[in-house]
Structure 1
């Protein structure tokens, strides 16, 4: 778990990860899942239909900050390296985050399958989810729906609701900042500086 935090969170407040898994299946229907190729498995983990939250990590106008691919079963380092190369070329990474892809291998496949893949993405498209949740949160707050459950708790004040809303807005702003950042030209250091 510590490795995930180290590799997937380049900035302290940008620690919201989206996950996807492939193949999705029901116990007893493994023949369908095993018919899928490993490459299809990889593409499914990158598609928005396999995300466990409603986002698209490959959305063109987003910024992918970091990614992790974990293969279980019949995967090799060479195959995973090919997937990393594909992801680096196709995904909307920031200029500084293109190399922020971690891979993991587990030789034991899930029960009934030959292989599976889990992908984790730290992406600016998570702000779509934050906006969606925030809008519903504001509706409930305006109607004062279920607020009495919280305000009756000792030490909880109504201001905590506004504070939570501000935290979500701040995190959204941080992700938007990353998305809007452009490539900065950093002049190379002269070799005589170190002499």
Structure 2
């Protein structure tokens, strides 16, 4: 559709424009969202980014996550810009660092990482990503990966407020 300055708009052009405006206003209906977490311990190997798995869907009305197959991922159904974050905590250990990052289709999302220095021996080692904008197409796969360098494998924490988690919200097309 092309409307030139000074040229009269045709009824079909106006109708097409109204249809496009209505589609933008409607968006995908209720915006897709998710909040998933893991209530079971997961072993995180030393010095290796590991995809976190999630066994509980607290909010997943669009079925972007499965608790029975491929539990480490969110599979995007509606294209658009999403704000996402994730991470968790490991058992206390005073050595090394803790990091978390978001990946899309296996590639690290720029500026998504977050980390922390080692905790005290009795404290959990936290790492959460920043809330990060990620442009997605339908079918894209998002994951949270966790890293720790304690010198040996560490389990993720299972206390409700320290459980690994992954959240996201569709913002716009």
Structure with greater contact order relative to length (CA < 8 Å, sep ≥ 6):
2
For Structure 1 versus Structure 2, the TM-score category normalised by the shorter chain is: 0.3 to 0.5
TM-score, normalised relative to structure 1: 0.31
Structure with the largest fraction of strand: 2
